[in-house]
Every structure is written in C-alpha cells, then in structure tokens.
C-alpha cells in the first residue's frame, strides 16, 4: 500500500560516500543453493535479499548540493545550544548521537522542561526520506530544520534574534560566507546547512548487510529464519520495506491513543486517521521505547502488538491482521532485528565558534 506515499523527483548527485558499493551479486550463486528452512515453503531467498541492497551514495537535492564546508557548518549548528532561546538546548539534546540520534525517552522534553506530545525519532538515514515527522508535516529536511528552533515547546528561539546572534559571531559569519558565498545568514541558509549535515548521518554496515553481501557467517541461523518470517508470515515487509526498512508512507497500526497523526495534516481521508510514518528499523534494538508515543518498551512486545494486540477501528491498516506467530517466530524476528545494529563511527563534537570580545 503506497497510496499515501509522496514520490518526489530529486536529481541525485553522485558523490563518493562512506557507503561501500554493494557487492551482493557475487553471493547470489551461493545463496540460490542454500534455502533457509528446508522442507517449508521457502521463498526465493536470493530475490528477497536483493530487495535489501544498500545504495552506493547519498542523494543530495539539486537546490542544495553537498559541500564539505556546508555540512561542517550544519554539524556545528546542530550541536550549538545558542540555537535555542534559553541557550540550553541544541538539536542534539533530543537527537543524541550516542542514543542512535534519539533521546531514549517516551516523549521529547522541551527547553522549559516541558513534555512534548510525541517521541523524538532518530534522524538516521533521512537523506532518502520523502516526508519528515511522525505525521509527515514537512516535505524536506531544509523545511523541517527551522521548525524546532522556533517552536515554543521545543527550542523557543526567535529567528530574528538568532540571525543577529549568528551574524555577530565571527566564526559563524565566516563559515556562512564559505558555505553560501554572497548570501546573508538567513532562515533559509540555516535550514540548508543543517539539512546537508543531516543527510550525512547514515547508519554504517550492520551484520545484516554483510549477510546480504554474501557472508553466511555474519548473522545467526535464527536471524536468517527471522528475516524470512519478517517477509512472509509476519507481513512486516508490507510496510518496513527496502534497506532502510520503511515505505515512507503512513499507516494506522492500531495503537490505542487519541493522536490522529497524519489525519490532522491531510483531513478527510479515513485511512489516515491515527496514521503515522513507518519508522525505519536500522539500529532498532537500541532505540526504544518504541512508537510515536514511546508506549512499547520491548521488541517482543512490539511483535505481540502486531500479532494480536492492536486496536480494531475503521482506520486500521488492511495490512494489520492476526498473525498466529509461535514463540519461536517471535524470538527469530527479534534475532533478525538485532542484526540491523551497526557500529557507527563516533561523532566528533564540533568546536563551537566563540563570540567576539569587545
Ligand atoms: C525538544 C526535543 C527536540 C529538539 C530540541 C529537536 N527535536 Fe527534532 N524532533 C523531536 C520530536 C519530538 C520529533 C517528532 C515530531 C513529530 O513528528 O510530531 C522530531 C522530529 C525531527 C525530525 C523528523 C524525523 C523523521 O523521521 O521524520 C528531524 C529531521 C528533526 N527532528 C531534526 C531536528 C533538528 C535539525 C533540530 C534542531 C534544529 C531538532 N530536531 C531539535 C524532538 C526534538
Ligand atoms: C501497516 C504497516 C506496518 C506493518 C505491517 C508493520 N509495521 Fe511496524 N510500524 C509501522 C508504523 C506506521 C509504525 C509507527 C507507528 C506509530 O508510532 O504510531 C511502526 C513501528 C514499528 C516499530 C517501532 C519503531 C520505532 O522507531 O519506534 C517496530 C520495531 C516495528 N514497527 C516492527 C514491525 C514488525 C516486526 C512488523 C511485523 C511483525 C511490523 N512492524 C509490521 C508500520 C507497519
């Protein structure tokens, strides 16, 4: 069901990236001869695996192409608490690299120690995403980045004040001039710099990817069976599809709360009531508590939700149905999801430019 997905055409600028080129072709011949579960209705494993190959490069939009100085400026802004009104909170307060770019809390906490309505999602792998936010309210990373800065409940900053502050810090003035020659420091250039940095936040290769690339020893047998269950009996791949494990679309999976999600953004579509963006599953094992409201703590509990724990209502996705999973199925699904955890390179914290002495 990709009905509500937005497909945007973006010119992809090839760039060498940290992602290695995908080398799964060589492994195919070996895999074809090696069914995961002998005697059952084994799907064509090679074809299944081919759907999960990683892309070779990060896509950057034509109207905000990559440059190293821009990405570096974006990284500095992302970690700078001066972007918030009280100068206490940066983007990284809620999107913390040591917590897989989330905050590990059921709900985000704003700069006035206030509880937000939803959980802080990871910003991993968003270069490929077509809508931002649990409800997809922003179309691009550029648009999204300037939202939390000014949101009273989040960073509570006045944009004119921030522009003045940044323009008076020599290090920032120079960095903006290098990244956007001849342009003033503006909401637009702040958004572009942060978005460029965010696109570079990509999960590294996980054991799962090494298996996809042909290393049969990279993941346990139970995880291989879990992968097949994920794609067949458990129907997870109906929504968590492709190497990021998301269809970038919106679904009601039957979580019992009053939040209408996408239904508040696009009104009058019954199926979008209680619908939220399908989160990617990279590094999922360390990213709990789960869901837009942080209501599910354990991965086994997530699977039990899909098996039989969902709320029946008119907007419930037609892909959600009783699964009749066995205990072994559940454990193997968890074993599979654990293979999506990558050891990402440590993020070097930027040196924040200091204010001019006078
Ligand atoms: C107070 C905590 C907090 C701060 C600070 C914060 N965010 Fe977020 N962020 C959230 C929450 C909560 C959401 C989900 C909002 C929603 O969908 O309703 C979110 C969503 C996002 C998303 C969308 C992710 C996705 O998968 O769709 C991006 C990108 C993002 N934030 C980037 C940023 C940037 C850049 C900054 C700094 C300018 C920032 N955030 C500051 C809590 C925070
Ligand atoms: C109908 C589409 C759909 C199907 C089928 C589906 N999911 Fe999801 N999944 C979603 C959506 C949408 C969310 C976010 C829901 C929310 O927060 O309201 C989600 C959330 C999750 C999360 C939490 C992610 C996070 O960052 O909080 C996990 C884990 C997960 N799903 C795993 C699975 C597994 C395992 C299966 C199969 C048993 C499955 N999903 C089947 C759409 C789906």
pLDDT in tens, 207-221: 999 999 999 999 999
Domain-terminating residue out of 199, 225, 253: 199
User: Does 20 fall in a domain?
Assistant: no
Print the domain residue range for 260: 25-32+43-54+205-338
Helices 187-199 and 141-150: angle between axes, nearest 10 degrees: 120
Please answer whether residues 91 and 79 qualify as being in contact, where contact means their C-beta atoms are separated by less than 8 angstroms.
yes
Judgement on whether residues 164 and 233 belong to the same structural domain of the protein: no
> Which residue's CA is the nearest one to ligand 2's atom 37?
236
User: Does 350 fall in a domain?
Assistant: no
Q: 250, 243, 280: which is closest to 1 by C-alpha?
A: 250
Judgement on whether residues 265 and 286 belong to the same structural domain of the protein: yes
Q: For residue 107, what is the domain's CATH number? A: 1.10.760.10
Tell me the C-alpha to C-alpha distance, in Å, between residue 225 and each of 45, 168, 278, 305, 334. Answer: 11, 58, 23, 20, 11
Ligand 1, pocket residues at CB < 6 Å: 83, 89, 91, 93-95, 108-110, 116, 118, 120-121, 123, 126, 132-135, 141, 144-145, 148-149, 154-155, 194, 198
Q: What is the pLDDT of residue 355?
A: 85
User: Does 153 fall in a domain?
Assistant: yes
Mutate to test the pocket of ligand 1, among 73, 133, 202 (most ligand atoms within 8 A of CB): 133
User: Does 283 fall in a domain?
Assistant: yes
Judgement on whether residues 187 and 213 belong to the same structural domain of the protein: no
C-alpha–C-alpha distance, residues 319 and 231, integer Å: 13
Q: Is 255 in the pocket of ligand 2 (CB under 6 A)?
A: yes
User: What digits encode the pLDDT tens for the residues 52-104?
Assistant: 999 999 999 999 999 999 999 999 999 999 999 999 999 999 999 999 999 99
Helices 68-78 and 170-179: angle between axes, nearest 10 degrees: 140
Q: Please give the number of the atom of ligand 1 that sits closest to the Cα of 107.
A: 12
Q: What is the mean pLDDT of residues 274-297?
A: 98
Q: What is the mean pLDDT of residues 319-334?
A: 98
User: Does 95 fall in a domain?
Assistant: yes
3-class state of residue 52 by DSSP: coil
3-class state of residue 110 by DSSP: coil
SS (H, E, C) 13-43: CCCCCCCCCCCCHHHHHHHHCCCCCCCCCCC
Judgement on whether residues 113 and 148 belong to the same structural domain of the protein: yes
Band of the pLDDT at 42, cuts 50, 70, 90?
low
Q: 211, 202, 249, 203: which is closest to 53 by C-alpha?
A: 211
Judgement on whether residues 151 and 227 belong to the same structural domain of the protein: no
C-alpha–C-alpha distance, residues 118 and 260, integer Å: 12
User: Does 357 fall in a domain?
Assistant: no
Judgement on whether residues 275 and 180 belong to the same structural domain of the protein: no
Judgement on whether residues 161 and 230 belong to the same structural domain of the protein: no
List of residues 6+ apart from 39 with CB closer than 8 A: none
Judgement on whether residues 186 and 86 belong to the same structural domain of the protein: yes
- The tally of domains found in the chain comes to 2
Q: Is 284 in the pocket of ligand 2 (CB under 6 A)?
A: yes
Band of the pLDDT at 18, cuts 50, 70, 90?
very low
Q: What is the pLDDT of residue 354?
A: 93
**Given phi > 0 = left and psi -120 to 50 = alpha, else beta, which region is 136?**
left
Q: The tokens of 112 are what?
A: 């006035």
C-alpha–C-alpha distance, residues 221 and 325, integer Å: 18
Judgement on whether residues 218 and 317 belong to the same structural domain of the protein: yes
Q: What is the pLDDT of residue 6?
A: 41
Band of the pLDDT at 26, cuts 50, 70, 90?
very low
Q: Please give the number of the atom of ligand 1 that sits closest to the Cα of 109.
A: 1
Q: Which ligand is nearest to the CA of 276?
A: 2
Distance 2 CA to ligand 2 centre (A): 15
**Whether pLDDT at 40 is above 60:** no
β-pair partners for 290: 296
User: What digits encode the pLDDT tens for the residues 153-198?
Assistant: 999 999 999 999 999 999 999 999 999 999 999 999 999 999 999 9
User: Does 255 fall in a domain?
Assistant: yes
Omega of the bond leading into 59 within 30 degrees of 0 (cis): no
C-alpha–C-alpha distance, residues 286 and 338, integer Å: 9
β-pair partners for 251: 276
C-alpha–C-alpha distance, residues 253 and 268, integer Å: 19
Domain-terminating residue out of 199, 229, 264: 199
User: What digits encode the pLDDT tens for the residues 243-283?
Assistant: 999 999 999 999 999 999 999 999 899 999 999 999 999 99
pTM for this entry: 0.90
Judgement on whether residues 191 and 256 belong to the same structural domain of the protein: no
User: Does 96 fall in a domain?
Assistant: yes
Helices (H) then strands (E): counts for the chain? 13, 2
Distance 125 CA to ligand 1 centre (A): 14
Band of the pLDDT at 5, cuts 50, 70, 90?
very low
Q: What is the pLDDT of residue 358?
A: 55
C-alpha–C-alpha distance, residues 308 and 86, integer Å: 45
Judgement on whether residues 138 and 118 belong to the same structural domain of the protein: yes
Domain-terminating residue out of 199, 226, 249: 199
> Which residue's CA is the nearest one to ligand 2's atom 33?
236
Judgement on whether residues 84 and 186 belong to the same structural domain of the protein: yes
List of residues 6+ apart from 238 with CB closer than 8 A: 1, 319
Q: Is 302 in the pocket of ligand 2 (CB under 6 A)?
A: yes
């Amino acid at each position: 069901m990709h009905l509500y997905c937005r497909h945007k055409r973006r010119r992809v600028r090839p760039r060498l990236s940290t992602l290695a080129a995908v080398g799964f072709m060589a492994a195919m011949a070996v895999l074809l001869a090696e069914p995961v579960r002998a005697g059952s209705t084994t799907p064509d494993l090679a074809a299944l695996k081919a759907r999960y190959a990683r892309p070779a490069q990060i896509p950057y939009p034509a109207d905000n192409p990559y440059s190293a100085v821009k990405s570096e400026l974006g990284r500095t802004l992302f970690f700078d608490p001066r972007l918030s009104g009280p100068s206490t909170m940066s983007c990284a307060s809620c999107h913390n690299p040591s917590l897989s770019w989330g905050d590990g809390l059921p709900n985000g906490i704003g700069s006035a120690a206030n509880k937000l309505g939803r959980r802080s999602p990871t910003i991993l792998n968003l270069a490929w995403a077509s809508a931002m936010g649990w409800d997809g309210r922003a179309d691009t990373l550029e648009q999204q980045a300037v939202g939390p800065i000014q949101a009273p409940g989040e960073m509570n900053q006045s944009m004119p004040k921030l522009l003045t502050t940044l323009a008076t810090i020599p290090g920032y003035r120079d960095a903006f001039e290098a990244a956007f020659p001849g342009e003033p420091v503006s909401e637009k250039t702040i958004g572009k710099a942060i978005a460029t940095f965010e696109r570079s936040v990509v999960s590294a290769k996980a054991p799962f990817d090494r298996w996809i690339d042909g290393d049969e020893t990279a993941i346990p047998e139970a995880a291989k069976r879990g992968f097949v269950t994920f794609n067949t009996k458990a129907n997870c791949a109906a929504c968590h599809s492709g190497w990021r494990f998301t269809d970038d679309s919106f679904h009601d999976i039957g979580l019992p709360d009053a939040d209408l999600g996408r239904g508040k953004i696009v009104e009058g579509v019954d199926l979008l009531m209680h619908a939220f963006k399908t989160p990617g599953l990279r590094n999922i094992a360390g990213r709990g508590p789960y869901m837009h409201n942080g209501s599910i703590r354990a991965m086994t509990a997530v699977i039990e939700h899909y098996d039989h724990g969902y709320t029946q209502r008119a907007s419930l996705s037609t892909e959600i149905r009783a699964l009749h999973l066995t205990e072994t199925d559940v454990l193997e699904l968890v074993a599979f999801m654990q293979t999506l955890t990558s050891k990402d390179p440590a993020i070097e914290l930027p040196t924040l430019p200091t204010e001019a002495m006078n």
